[in-house]
Amino acid sequence: MDESTRNEVSGTVDGVVVQAGVIHGGVHVHSPDDRRLANAYEEVERVRRQLAESVAAERDITKVVWVLQVVLAQARATVAHLTGDRDHLRDEADRRRAELARARQAQARTEQRLRRAEQERENALRLVEVARRKARALQARTHRETPAHFPPAHSLPALEPAALEAGLDNVDAYLDAQDDRLDRLSAALGTSPADQAPHPPTEDRRPEVLLPLVAALLRMPALAEASNRSTIIRLVGHELGTGLVVPESAHPTVHLSNLVLACLEHSGGLSALLRVLDHVEHDSTPMREARRAVDELTTGQS
């Protein structure tokens, strides 16, 4: 049926609701009960739509809850893991602090014994110089050129911390024994502890006195190269137990002159230089000349 021919008329006649519609030529009239029933159906439909919407919202929110529960479980696991790490690090820090305290105690004990050992070493070095001079004097008297033999230097063994800790307990006894040994050597060489006490250097620093030593050093192959001279300087500083400051120079004569002057600034510096050179030059002619020059410098004899 064409929409243009469709119409609807509603009105109230004698208290009765009249709804007329031209639907296929029919007219419908509803009573108040029918209207209430229609309204009830509409309310039911509206509630059903609201229920469906509520169910959909509940499902969406449930998905969010599940996601949050998973994230919460992961966060709790992370917190537990980090808490364990923190506790482990605290225990490790306590152990490290205890180890550090023990290491500092060992350091203090070692420093005390090192100072004593260095003093004993200085005494031994002075005895070596006394014995060396006596040996050379005897060789000169007998006109023999037999090279003096000195025991080779030995490297210190590497010690584990536990072995070092145990060894420190025996250092005092060892140094006492070495002190007795040096006393016996002093008596045999005719020296006294007073002779071994540190004394101001008496070296003559005039150029005409220093030049023979510098000339002897210039003839040593081990000191020909600048890199070798730098190595020897470091070894002498290590032998002295301190840094040896020697001004650099491209000219070998100037560089070696600076080395001699730097050694003169330290007690026993020239002796330390000779000990280092002994390992590379042995009893070569320049080495013997250097020894004689050092003897003249330290004794003041020409």
pLDDT tens-place string over residues 115-157? 877 777 777 777 777 777 777 666 666 654 444 444 444 344 4
d(CA 185, CA 131): 10
Highest mean pLDDT out of 63-67, 168-172, 280-284 = 63-67
pLDDT score of 140: 66
Task: At 221, give phi and psi (nearest 5°).
Answer: -60, -30
Lookup: tokens for 235: 């070894």
d(CA 204, CA 198): 18
Highest mean pLDDT out of 60-74, 148-162, 242-256 = 60-74
Dihedral of the CA atoms 256, 134, 199, 215 (nearest 10)?
Answer: -10
Q: Which residues pair with 11 in a beta bridge?
A: 18
Q: Which residues pair with 20 in a beta bridge?
A: 9
| Torsion sign over Cα 75, 81, 82, 87 | positive
All residues at 6 or more sequence positions from 89 whose CB lies less than 8 Å from its CB, including other chains: none
Confidence of residue 207 (pLDDT cuts 50, 70, 90): low
d(CA 86, CA 274): 58
Q: Is the pLDDT at 300 greater than 60, yes or no?
A: no
Q: Model's pTM, two decimal places?
A: 0.35
Please indicate whether residue 151 or residue 188 has the higher confidence score (pLDDT).
Answer: 188
Among residues 241, 251, 119, the alpha carbon closest in space to that of 175 is found at: 119
Q: Is the pLDDT at 161 greater than 70, yes or no?
A: no
Among residues 200, 218, 221, 208, the alpha carbon closest in space to that of 264 is found at: 200
Q: Is the pLDDT at 3 greater than 60, yes or no?
A: no
